[in-house]
A and B are shown apart, each in its own frame.
Chain A
Amino acid sequence: MQSQQLTDEANKRAPEEAETVLENPTPPKRQYPPLYEKVVPIALGMIAIVLIVLLLIIVGVALGLFPGTR
């Protein structure tokens, strides 16, 4: 049944693509909608940076590096 599905998939594509589908039966890579493909990594990067800064500040306060904050 799987080989039939691959054959059907191949039949829907151009000849050179069809050959690729039959040789490489892995499904196409998933993607989020384009907006999220851009926004999500940027948001995660910003969160990571802010988190590191915040942790450094908290550690600094705990170690008494900032006078008047104890």
Chain B
Amino acid sequence: MSGINIWLPFTSCIVSFIFAFFVFKRYLARRGTHLLLWGIGMVFYGIGGFCEAYFGAFGWNTLIFRLWYLFGAILVAAWLGQGTVYLLANRKWANGLMVLLALGSLYGLIRVFGAQLDPGLLTTSVHTGSELSGHAIVTPGVRTLTPFFNLYGTVTLVGGAAWSAWIFWRKRILLHRTIGNILIAAGAILPAFGGTFSRFGLPGALYLGELLGAVLMFVGFIRATTPIGTQ
């Protein structure tokens, strides 16, 4: 197994858990459901990275694959995005969408853990088998879940951060939040592209996109929560 397929996702995992720690710390100090959900989302991100690193180091494991697919491929973007929904949207809407997300996540859990798997399908004409991929899922209808969760997560997380940045820029206020939200939006796009390109069989895109995405989002979060100078 290639070392890069161990260390890239492992680094991504560490960065994600450190990021989650800072988000939870801010949540405990200031409360805010958005912080709680972002923290949970980053834990999911870290679980995904850990599973990828495990696969890189030790090879196929059914439980690890299922955990990776559920947390890393299906849930992470949607839960991070839901945090942004709580930050920007009306509370009633946010709660309603949270119920839908929770039910959808439960459905995803049942489908993923009930799916038939074939690790041989990880190695095909387009896949080298060195990266995890949803192609190992044989049961129809399971992989169909990911685009819907990713669509929701991408619109809310990337769109929400970009929208926030635009609002601050339009008013020319809180420059640190404008910069931070741009970095968060850019960071959130990278794993989304990585996951999409992985589906198309492009090697290396997934793990690199995840690591760069985690780093950018972390830097963006720190920037957004740290005023510049003494504004």
Contacts and interface: CB of A to CB of B under 8 A. Distances in A.
Interface of A: 29-33, 36, 40-41, 43-44, 47-48, 50-51, 54-55, 57-59, 61-62, 66, 68-70
Contacts of B175: 32-33, 36
Interface residues of A: mostly helix, strand, loop or mixed? helix
Contacts of B111: none
B148 A47 contact: no
A37 B165 CA distance: 13
A50 B144 contact: no
Contact of A69 (B155, B162, B185, B199): B199
Interface stretch (B19-27, B91-99, B189-197): B189-197
Contacts, number: 73
Given A30-B172, A40-B178, A47 B162 contact: yes
A40 B162 CA distance: 11
Looking at chain B, what size class is its interface with the partner chain? 20 to 34
Contact of A58 (B179, B196, B200): B196
Nearest to B126: A68
Interface string B193-217: 1001001110000000000000000
A67 to B, nearest CB: 11
A36 B143 CA distance: 41
B151 interface: yes
B119 interface: no
Contacts of A50: 189, 193
Given A43-B182, A69-B199, A58 B169 contact: no
